[in-house]
Structure 1
Amino acid sequence: MKREQFLRDLRKLAKTRQIELEIFEDKGKGSHYRIKCGGKISTVKSGDLTPMYMRLVRKQLGLD
């Protein structure tokens, strides 16, 4: 799955749980994005994301 699709899925998931989700495109290093969800922060790399990596990010954000 590409990063943009993953971010769309995260937005939907946060919206259903009524949690604020912020995506900072300029805070990450290089082409990485920083995501803040309910006080928890994670980094998302660019390109294709593996299911294990996506699960890790969701867990870091408290959405899993």
Structure 2
Amino acid sequence: MKRDAFLRAVRRYCRKNGLYYDWQPGEGKGSHGTVYVGGRKTTVPDKDLPRFYIDDLLEQLGLGSDAV
């Protein structure tokens, strides 16, 4: 899954569940950016994301695997 598809899915999940969502592409080194969900944040690289990495990102954001 590409980063943009991951972010779209998380944004859609947040809208549906009334959660705060913010994407800051400039907050990170190189091609990384920071996504905020509720009171949590994580850094997302600009590359293909394997499933195990997506699961880790969702865990850091406090979301279940059904978010993507």
Q: Same fold (TM over 0.5)?
A: yes
What is the distance in 2 between the residues matched to 1:6 and 1:36? 13
Question: Which digits, 9 at most, give the CA deviation of each residue in 1:39-58, with x for residues without a partner?
Answer: 10101011100011111111
Corresponding residue number in structure 2 for 1:56: 56
1:15 aligns with 2:10: no
Q: Any runs of at least 4 consecutive aligned residues in structure 1 with deviations exceeding 3 A, and if so which?
A: none
Is contact 1:14-1:63 (8 Å) kept? no
What value does the CA root-mean-square deviation take over the aligned residues?
0.7
Unaligned ranges ≥5, structure 2: none
Offset of residue 59 of structure 1:
0.9
Q: How far off is 1:16 after superposition? A: 1.3
Q: How many residues align structurally?
A: 64
Q: Which ranges in structure 1 are unaligned for 5 or more consecutive residues? A: none
TM-score, length-scaled by structure 1? 0.94
